[in-house]
Amino acid sequence: MKRRSLFLNTTASMGFIFLYAPMIALVVYSFNKSKLVTVWGGWSLKWYGELFRNEQIIDAALLSFKIAFISASVAVVLGTMAGFVLSRFTRSRGKMLLSGWISAPLVMPEVITGLSLLLLFVAMESAFGWPAGRGTSTIIIAHVTFCMAYVAVIVQSRLSQMDETLEEAAMDLGAKPSSLFFLVTLPLIMPAIISGWLLSFTLSLDDLVIASFVSGPGNSTLPMVIFSKVRLGVSPEVNALATLMIAVVAIGVTAAMWQMRRQAKMLEKQP
Amino acid sequence: MSATSMIETLSDSDTVPAASLSEQSVWKQEGATPFLRIENVSKKFGEFTAVDNVSLNIYKNELFCLLGGSGSGKSTLLRMLAGFEAPTSGRIIIDGVDMAGIQPWKRPVNMMFQSYALFPHLSVEENVAFGLKREGLGRAEVKQRVNQMLDMVQLGHLGKRKPHQLSGGQRQRVALARSLVKRPKLLLLDEPLGALDKKLREETQFELINIQEELGVTFVVVTHDQEEAMTLATRIGVMNHGVIVQTAEPHDVYEYPNSRFVAEFVGSVNLFEGRVIEEQSDFVRIRSAEADAVLYVNHGISCAPNQKVHMAVRPEKMRISREQPKQQENCVCGVVEEYAYMGGLTVYRVRLASGKEVRVTQPNMSRSSSERFTWKDKVYLYWDFDSSVVLTA
């Protein structure tokens, strides 16, 4: 027994080191006083100060948050609808087709998604003049397309766990089908929707590849700014920025997981 | 608030006091108007016929049990009453109104689901209030009626809890309260006690009967559990393959089953196959090779001479003895093959010479084991002339 737990502990700690050592190094170096990234010069918060004085980075961060917020919100609406249809669609062939369609963005290489979206936007612009040029709106559309796939999968799995007699019970008690969704179904899948939103938000915030394809001049998201800065040489300022991004993403993902666990707990207790 | 004082507030003027029910069996009265009429209702799912031309009258204040195994069509019938399924043919008339085309949310019917189907995101109070809010009642009235109902099911103190914080028995009560709070004319219950453990079931059974009698609502219960049906029902409809095989009071279903299926489904029974050798208006004599005996019943049946019939004897109607009894008929001889001491009674499995296995139960009247029999004992089993039923179907 003891042996086994020792083995498990070793494996777990090695896994954690493997996953988190780079990030820890990054976080530690973000507090480095020295201007040289790899030379330790004592603790300091000065690069965080520098960061907030850098307008390019602040603008990019604001843009990223705006894009993430809008695309997560749109993705949640569309993804919930898709997930709903998926779980209620019983005809096997149609369902296969639909679930294939919805999960394609999950497995597609980002480069291909980005490229195909770029081609589509260019073609659309030349065909009927919209979207005029590439910028914030094209990034949002691109992010919605892959985020809604995640939302759809989460919502679908939640709906498939849901007891269908709940809807019958609501009808039996006098709820019309039109109000049924808002009275019963929506509150029940709310945890899934919230975790889908949080996940979409972080995915959108993280995305570099797709955004690079579909963004226009003057519309650089935060990951794009970081990437371009790093290409000119790693600066301690970027370390500070990356640390902040890790914090935001970690909070988002943790919140999403917490939501999902809470929902699982609620379902577990049901007979 | 006590349950008795609920009657004044809950039962409307048109409800008959339930106490009168036991004294007069409405379904036996000539010309009584049924409250629920099921007329030649069939339901087909593709090629499969779930409910096959069922006709049934259920009267006001009845507690009617549909009893049957899985796939017997009992749940489908219930779902048609609730409006979740539309009959392929036939009519359902509730309180004089044809239910064809009336949606579930417009029917004067509520259902208690087998899984209870409590809304997990709502508290107990909100669950019960759900139906009233859909009616557009005022906040004060909703609150008052919810509280009344929760008091009646003794859950007044748990109103703020969520369903997952309740025990199985408590959930069952919430489900009951939720389905009764709208004062339906007809309450449908799908295996209402199925998810409870044995002890809780027994308590709840009687509670359910009390509530039904107090509120004067007509109940239709679906169950596969014959004990549940026996204790709950005013009448039982036994279903098999989408057909109602027998409709009768619990006592009659048990003592006078009309077919082998009913005899075997409700309780356990010993069936002896035989041929009619003598039939008169007041008795029948049957020769049974299986029993290696002549069987005698002191009531007449409609049958042809030499017709193949089955005689059904309940295990508890048989007596067991080491000595040969005086009676010639209704007496078989065998060897105890196995027995099970169950406290209140002992169950014996006796093998006859023909290879037929017979089940006998004996109450354990005394504490000593001298009256009991053991393996390999040669015993005689015999029963009274009026204890058995002859089945032609």
Q: How far is CA A211 from the centre of its chain?
A: 14
> Does the residue A235 lie in any domain?
yes
| Residue B303, both tokens | 């049958």
3-state secondary structure of A232: coil
Closest by Cβ to B195, choosing from A187, A265, A271 = A271
What is the C-alpha to C-alpha distance for residues B380 and A39, in angstroms, rounded to an integer? 102
Residue B103 distance to chain A (closest CA, Å): 9
What is the C-alpha to C-alpha distance for residues A202 and A249, in angstroms, rounded to an integer? 6
Best CA proximity match to B384, nearest among B309, B323, B325: B325
Which of chain B's residues have a Cβ under 8 Å away from the Cβ of A188? 119-121
What is the C-alpha to C-alpha distance for residues A85 and A83, in angstroms, rounded to an integer? 5
CA-based nearest residue in chain B for residue A268: B164
Q: Which residue has the tokens 């691109």?
A: A142
Which of chain A's residues have a Cβ under 8 Å away from the Cβ of B195? 271
3-state secondary structure of A196: helix
- Out of B243, B260, B277, a domain closes at B260
Say if the Cβ atoms of B117 and A176 lie within 8 Å.
no
> Does the residue A46 lie in any domain?
no
Helix ranges (DSSP H) in chain B: 6-10, 19-23, 74-82, 124-134, 139-152, 168-180, 198-215, 226-232, 250-255, 260-265
pLDDT of residue A261: 80
| Residue A18, both tokens | 């493997």
Closest by Cβ to B110, choosing from A172, A268, A271 = A172
- Which CATH number covers residue A154? 1.10.3720.10
Question: What strand order describes the sheet that includes B388-391?
Answer: B293-297, B284-288, B270-279, B308-313, B388-391
What is the C-alpha to C-alpha distance for residues B162 and B120, in angstroms, rounded to an integer? 7
- Which CATH number covers residue B273? 2.40.50.140
Q: Which of A158, A164, A172 to mutate to test the interface with B (most CBs of B within 10 A)?
A: A172
Say if the Cβ atoms of A270 and B164 lie within 8 Å.
yes
Which of chain B's residues have a Cβ under 8 Å away from the Cβ of A190? 121
What's the mean pLDDT in B123-148? 92
Residue B80 distance to chain A (closest CA, Å): 12
Type of residue numbered B190: D
Q: Does A164 touch chain B (CB under 8 A)?
A: no
User: Does residue B229 sit in the same domain as residue B364?
Assistant: no
Say if the Cβ atoms of A168 and B104 lie within 8 Å.
yes
> Does the residue B160 lie in any domain?
no
CA-based nearest residue in chain B for residue A176: B105
| Residue B68, both tokens | 């049957």
User: Does residue B220 sit in the same domain as residue B286?
Assistant: no
pLDDT-derived band of residue B359, with 50, 70 and 90 as boundaries?
very high
Kindly indicate whether the ipTM for this predicted assembly is greater than 0.85, answering yes or no: no
- Rounded to the nearest 10 degrees, the angle between the axes of helix A186-206 and helix A55-88 is 140
Residue B40 distance to chain A (closest CA, Å): 24
Q: Write down the mean pLDDT value for chain A.
A: 86
What's the mean pLDDT in A163-184? 90
Q: Are B391 and B302 in contact (CB under 8 A)?
A: no
Best CA proximity match to B187, nearest among B204, B208, B205, B206: B208
User: Does residue B196 sit in the same domain as residue B318?
Assistant: no
Share of chain A above pLDDT 70, in %: 94
Neighbours of A121 (CB within 10 A): 21
Q: How many residues does chain B have?
A: 393
> Does the residue A1 lie in any domain?
no
Q: Does A3 touch chain B (CB under 8 A)?
A: no
CA-based nearest residue in chain A for residue B121: A188
| Residue B346, both tokens | 């002992």
pLDDT-derived band of residue B392, with 50, 70 and 90 as boundaries?
confident
Q: How many domains in chain A?
A: 1
pLDDT of residue A143: 93
pLDDT-derived band of residue B215, with 50, 70 and 90 as boundaries?
confident
User: Does residue B280 sit in the same domain as residue B377?
Assistant: yes
> Does the residue A29 lie in any domain?
no
Residue A75 distance to chain B (closest CA, Å): 24
The terminus-to-terminus CA distance of chain B in angstroms comes to 52
For A1-5, A234-238, B279-283, which range has the lowest pLDDT when averaged over its residues?
A1-5
User: Does residue B228 sit in the same domain as residue B315?
Assistant: no
> Does the residue B304 lie in any domain?
yes
Q: Does A267 touch chain B (CB under 8 A)?
A: yes
pLDDT-derived band of residue B393, with 50, 70 and 90 as boundaries?
confident
* Strand bridging mode B270-279 / B284-288: antiparallel
Query: pLDDT tens-digit profile of B184-194?
Result: 989 999 988 87
Q: Are A105 and A149 in contact (CB under 8 A)?
A: yes
pLDDT of residue B19: 39
Q: Does B167 touch chain A (CB under 8 A)?
A: no
Contacts of A128 (CB under 8 A, 6+ apart): none
Q: Does A190 touch chain B (CB under 8 A)?
A: yes
Q: Which of A159, A164, A173 to mutate to test the interface with B (most CBs of B within 10 A)?
A: A173
- Out of B260, B282, B311, a domain closes at B260
> Does the residue A26 lie in any domain?
no
Domain that holds residue A251: 55-268
User: Does residue B194 sit in the same domain as residue B96?
Assistant: yes
Helix ranges (DSSP H) in B216-286: 226-232, 250-255, 260-265
Query: pLDDT tens-digit profile of B22-63?
Result: 445 777 777 788 899 999 999 999 889 999 999 999 998 889
Closest by Cβ to B117, choosing from A169, A187, A266 = A169
Query: pLDDT tens-digit profile of A237-257?
Result: 888 888 888 898 888 888 888
> Does the residue B230 lie in any domain?
yes
What's the mean pLDDT in A112-116? 91
Closest by Cβ to A173, choosing from B163, B164, B182 = B182
User: Does residue B62 sit in the same domain as residue B97?
Assistant: yes
Domain that holds residue B204: 6-108+184-260
| Residue B351, both tokens | 């093998």
Running DSSP on this structure, what letter comes out for residue B26?
G
Query: pLDDT tens-digit profile of A206-220?
Result: 899 999 999 888 888
| Residue A245, both tokens | 């991004």
Q: How far is CA B168 from the centre of its chain?
A: 22
3-state secondary structure of B389: strand
Residues 169-188 of chain A whose Cβ lies under 8 A from any Cβ of chain B: 169-176, 179, 183-184, 187-188
What is the C-alpha to C-alpha distance for residues B340 and A62, in angstroms, rounded to an integer? 79
Type of residue numbered B69: G
What is the C-alpha to C-alpha distance for residues A25 and B171, in angstroms, rounded to an integer? 53
pLDDT-derived band of residue A3, with 50, 70 and 90 as boundaries?
low
pLDDT of residue A271: 43
Q: Which residue has the tokens 């096997």?
A: A92
For A262-271, B265-274, B336-345, which range has the lowest pLDDT when averaged over its residues?
A262-271
Say if the Cβ atoms of B121 and A174 lie within 8 Å.
no
- Which CATH number covers residue B10? 3.40.50.300
pLDDT-derived band of residue B8, with 50, 70 and 90 as boundaries?
very low
pLDDT of residue A2: 53
Per-position DSSP letters for B67-133, written without gaps between them = EE-TTSSHHHHHHHHHTSS--SEEEEEETTEE-TT--GGGSSEEEE-TT----TTS-HHHHHHHHHH
Whether residue B68 has pLDDT greater than 70: yes
3-state secondary structure of A116: helix
> Does the residue A145 lie in any domain?
yes
> Does the residue B329 lie in any domain?
yes
CA-based nearest residue in chain A for residue B182: A173
User: Does residue B212 sit in the same domain as residue B341?
Assistant: no
pLDDT of residue A266: 66
Per-position DSSP letters for A121-158, written without gaps between them = HHHHHHHH--S-SSSHHHHHHHHHHHHHHHHHHHHHHH
- Rounded to the nearest 10 degrees, the angle between the axes of helix A236-268 and helix A136-161 is 30
Q: Are A79 and A72 in contact (CB under 8 A)?
A: no
Q: How many domains in chain B?
A: 2
Whether residue B372 has pLDDT greater than 90: no
Residue A1 distance to chain B (closest CA, Å): 35
Q: Are A225 and A57 in contact (CB under 8 A)?
A: yes
